[in-house]
Structure 1
Amino acid sequence: MTTFSRRQVLLSSVALAAGLGMSRAFAQSDASATLRVQAFGGDAELAGINSAIGRFNAKYPNVTVEVSIDPISTGWGDYVTKVLGQFTSGSPADIYGTAIETFQAFSSRNLFMPLDDFVAENTGFSDFAPSLFEQGSYKGVLNYIPIGWNNIMINYNRDLFDKAGLAYPERGWTWEQFRETAKALTVRDASGTVTQFGYEVPNQNFFVQPWFFSNGTGILNADWTASNMLDPKVAETLQFLYDLIHVDGVSPIPGAEMMDNQFMAGQVAMINRGQWIVQNAKANGLNMDIAVPPRKEKEATIIGFGAYAIAGNTSNADLAKALVLELTSEETQREQGERGGGVPGRKSAASTEAFLAFPPSAFLYYETLPFTVPVPSPANFQEVEKIFIRHYTAMMSGQESIADGCKAADAELTESFTRLKQQMGG
């Protein structure tokens, strides 16, 4: 992972203007066609996409752009299934917005066109962190143009901390300090019913992974080729989360629905989320800030990022490339980042006063880059995610013991990787 100093993060966009202005498009301005874009995200992402399409149509007035946006409310595994279904049925989009969790799943099936020459011919892409392009390649071929990224942080309600008389979290806080903080932020009525939870134990794969990383472990091995569920540190991490629910009573059992609404309403004091939550926090006037996840063995969190890919069988490749230039432009990235659509991949777009103004510790997004770990994203990600979450939720609810859940998940993951190896000719 490429690292950045505070000074580098705050580089003036003026210094990059020359490079940013040298992007090339390839299509004729009088071209006529319809482009379909399958995007992901919420209002912030859609607003930025529509602005980009407006600029694109100023150059290509005869091109109609149709956008479908997926909120990814049930995880990236379901998105993989959805996109594969579009290709299988013969009705794929021309451009896909997707994320690192899906890269190997899509590229191993040769769904998207190589973009190495496209990037080489458009020097404006030099404003992106090089590591994003490295992670957007599969077997040495670049299929993905990066956009925004997210690292999971502890998002917390400052008003609830103030009401409880608690100091805001500082870098280096520990699991036990987090636990005591969550206890202090949990409120019960006279009958003992919780009216305010201190924390939401996550219900999604991406949200929960920092707990493993900060304990020096992960549910998969380092190169994402096998299960690591039998590592004692995995069970230790799961036990800690289980105890937050069943021993300390600071969190409900993870359910199918996320607790974003409860967080916005002041019913949950802390949750694990990325920068995308900023758009809702602003809309709800929430006095929110972020903290680096607590450490057990080391300071660590997860990073995932979005990107655009172009279908390999599109009949409008040049127009699709021209639209991708707008969708990944500094202007689009700045708008989406300031609205809360993720940390911009372009350093210039992440250095504006508006982006750094909220939450108050927004500078921490980039400060965590030196110790972020990419979300484990093997080619069988959709199976890995479903297997892990199924056993994770069973363990968190007490339907399955930690020991039995880890063994069962390990067996299923091992079978999945065996099938993957056979499919890949290994």
Structure 2
Amino acid sequence: MKFKKTMAVSATAALALSLAACGSDDKGGNEGTGSGSGEKAQITWDMWAGSDDDIAALEATLKIAQEENPDIDIKLQHAPWNDYFTKLTANLSSGKAACVTSMNGQRLSGYADAFMELTPEDMATAGIKESDFTAGSLDIMSSGGKVLGIPYDVATMMVFYNKDQIEKTGAPAPKLGWTKADMEATLAKAGDDKMKAFGMGMAEFQWLALPISVSGVQPVTADGKLDLTNPAFVDAATWYGSFVEKGWADQAPSASETGWGESEYQAGNAALAVDGTWNAVSYLNNESGFKAGMVDLPAGDSGKNLGLVLGSGYGIAKNCENKEAALKVLGSLVGKAAQDSMASSGRSYPARVESQPLYFEALDASVRDEVKGAFDAAFANVAGQNTNAEWTKISETFPNNLVSVYTGATSMADMLKATQDQFAK
């Protein structure tokens, strides 16, 4: 995911990339390919950053990587999230992608051809092994059965709730391992004349999470075929869309407000909302002053839930001229020191297993055990996201289409069928 995601951004952490031309000091040439005439190898690392805090965090990681690789001159370049992808496309067309290129896992399928496949031998050169990372997390940076990068963080979706509002209304409190029926019972009582029960999601994972969880079906099959009209998924998505009709939620005012549901929760206008683990710390420290809780996604009629393991990572560009040096830099960026630093700051949940306890140690002792329990439950039944080359375009159509559904202009089933007909091949 991105460093320090905002409420208006989907995890798409994700997080959801800046290349040789991305930095303000870009000088052209092929610096990003890892060539250099001096004694030191030169490797460029490109990453997104949206604030001074983001940049400071990247520079701290750069310092660690540089200290671990004194024989390599590592250059960090960065750009804001949206600019990163725009420049990525431009640089790929000219063969100037940075040797170490950051990539959001949910966008990887559209850029897969830009990355080298990483073999076990490559990982050994980088000083890492698959078992260092959360089970299944290499799926984040895999496409077409090939590992194209190594994740630096992992995330999944959860239900966040306002403990004060739940206590005030007497609604059943969300509990780990809860079900669709349990959630309905909570939503039916959690709202009042000052606060809606739920903040409706508009962004990709914020609205897809509940339909996927209760149906056990992803909208894309494992072999990349669009499956929006799968009956189980349609039923679950229709259930989710009914929250507005039942009076549990307000409709988003416009498609441009993609972070509507999360923002309503953050502002104290909705008792529950779905969002990613990357925003857990932000909600715990919310400016509205309410006590925040979090639980895993509810299970469907089968008694099981399904979540997606999300995140971002680093890959080696195919045009890189010094693969060995690039692998060493990549290894440091996902190494123990860098992952420990990220976890201790509370900015992201690290992909490296041995660093994960530090994330919870950074939290206030009063919520530490609760958050760890919620994270453990949320990650207990996750799968890698199925995507295809069209998925980014498909997900970008959802906000406009969801407005039509939430206002009653069209049904969820008709919207999903129209999208399926538009993009299925």
TM-score, normalising length: structure 2? 0.76
Equivalent residue number for residue 350 of structure 1: 356
Equivalent residue number for residue 10 of structure 1: none
**Percentage identity across paired residues of the two chains:** 17
Q: 1:308, CA displacement in angstroms?
A: 0.6
Gaps of 5+ in 2: 1-35
Which of 104, 109, 129 is the aligned partner of 2:134?
129
Quick one: distance in 2 between partners of 1:150 and 1:182? 25
Kindly provide the CA deviation profile for residues 332-388 of structure 1, in whole angstroms up to 9, marking residues without a partner as x: 223323434332211111123515755623233233334213222223222332345
Question: Does the alignment pair 1:165 with 2:167?
Answer: no
Q: 1:123, CA displacement in angstroms?
A: 4.5
Q: 1:46, CA displacement in angstroms?
A: 4.7
Which of 382, 391, 407 is the aligned partner of 1:381?
391
Equivalent residue number for residue 204 of structure 1: 203
Equivalent residue number for residue 152 of structure 1: 157
Equivalent residue number for residue 288 of structure 1: 292
Quick one: distance in 1 between partners of 2:88 and 2:214? 34
Quick one: distance in 1 between partners of 2:393 and 2:255? 20
Which of 113, 117, 127 is the aligned partner of 2:116?
113
Matched ranges for 1:186-335 at <5 A: 186-188=191-193, 195-218=194-217, 220-253=219-252, 255-257=255-257, 258-259=259-260, 260-284=262-286, 287-297=291-301, 298-335=304-341
Q: 1:184, CA displacement in angstroms?
A: 2.6
Query: Residues 47 and 336 of structure 1 are in contact (CA less than 8 Å); yes or no, is this contact kept in structure 2?
Result: no
Kindly provide the CA deviation profile for residues 171-229 of structure 1, in whole angstroms up to 9, marking residues without a partner as x: 332324323323433232xxxxxx42221111111222222223325353531432322
Equivalent residue number for residue 86 of structure 1: 91
Quick one: distance in 2 between partners of 1:227 and 1:168? 36
Query: Residues 156 and 289 of structure 1 are in contact (CA less than 8 Å); yes or no, is this contact kept in structure 2?
Result: yes
Quick one: distance in 1 between partners of 2:71 and 2:195? 53
Q: Secondary structure of 1:350's partner?
A: helix
Kindly provide the CA deviation profile for residues 133-182 of structure 1, in whole angstroms up to 9, marking residues without a partner as x: 35534445431112111110001222332333345311332324323323
Quick one: distance in 2 between partners of 1:211 and 1:94? 38
| Change in CA separation of 1:62 and 1:218 when aligned onto 2, cut-off 3 Å | closer
Quick one: distance in 2 between partners of 1:250 and 1:139? 39
| Change in CA separation of 1:61 and 1:49 when aligned onto 2, cut-off 3 Å | farther
Gaps of 5+ in 1: 1-26, 73-77, 189-194, 419-426
Count of matched residue pairs: 376
Quick one: distance in 2 between partners of 1:378 and 1:308? 20
Query: Residues 152 and 312 of structure 2 are in contact (CA less than 8 Å); yes or no, is this contact kept in structure 1?
Result: yes
Q: Secondary structure of 1:50's partner?
A: helix
TM-score, normalising length: structure 1? 0.76
